[in-house]
Amino acid sequence: MISPVRWAGDHLVLLDQTLLPREEVERVYLRWEDVAEAIRSLVVRGAPAIGVAAAFGVALAARRSAATTFDGLVADLETAIKGLAATRPTAVNLFWALERMRRTALGHRDLPLEALRARLLAEAQATLDEDVAANHAMGEYGVALVPAGARILTHCNAGALATAGYGTAL
C-alpha cells in the first residue's frame, strides 16, 4: 500500500508528490512549520492526506513546545493551528482535523503535559487509521453497487496518494 503520510517514531514522513512520477522521495518533518510548508507547496496533496498531515503537525507542535503549563501548551498549539489553517483555505479536511486536535487538547486539561502530548500524537494517528478504514469501507460497499464492466470517472484526486494510503476511488 502506498503511504503518502506516516508517523515514524518521532517524526512525520511525507511522500514528496511534487517529484512523482520521476522520483519516489520521502521527506522527514520534525516541526509544524515545515509541515505547513509541505502542505502549501503541494508535497502532500488531496484533502484527506492534508488533514492527516495537519493533525500530525499539531502533534509535532505539542512535542516541540517548551511550555510548562496547560495554558502555555494550548497557546503554542493555537499558533500551530492558525499557521496550518492558513496553508490551504479550501481543504475541508484540513479544518476538521485541526478542530479535532484542538478539541482533544482542550478536553484533556487534567492530564499531565507529557500525557497530553502523547494523547495528541495518538489522536493524529487515529485520523490516519480512520481514514484508511473509511477508504477500505467505501471500496467494499461500493463494489456491490458498480456493475461489472462499468466505467467510473472520479472527480478530483481520489487515489491512494490523496488519502492516508488506500484511496476513495472505487
Question: To 10 degrees, the CA torsion angle through 132, 137, 138, 140?
Answer: 130
Per-residue pLDDT of the chain (170 residues; tens, 9 = 90+): 778 999 999 999 999 999 999 999 999 999 999 999 999 999 999 999 999 999 999 999 999 999 999 999 999 999 999 999 999 988 899 999 999 999 999 999 999 999 999 999 999 999 999 999 998 898 888 888 889 999 888 777 778 888 888 787 75
Sorted by sequence, the CB contacts under 8 Å of residue 116 that are 6+ apart come out as 62, 70, 73, 105, 108
What pairing do the DSSP bridges indicate for beta strands 5-8 and 11-15?
antiparallel
The secondary element (H helix, E strand) that includes residue 54 is helix 47-64
Q: Tell me how far the alpha carbon of residue 138 is from its chain's centroid.
A: 19
Mapped onto helix, strand or coil, the DSSP state of residue 137 is: helix
CATH of domain 5-128: 1.20.120.420
User: For residue 117, what pLDDT is reported?
Assistant: 99
Looking at beta carbons, which pairs linking 132-137 to residues 24 or more positions away fall under 8 Å?
132/163, 132/164, 132/165, 132/166, 135/48, 135/163, 135/164, 135/165, 135/166, 135/167, 135/168, 136/166
Domain residue ranges of the chain, discontinuous segments joined by +? 5-128
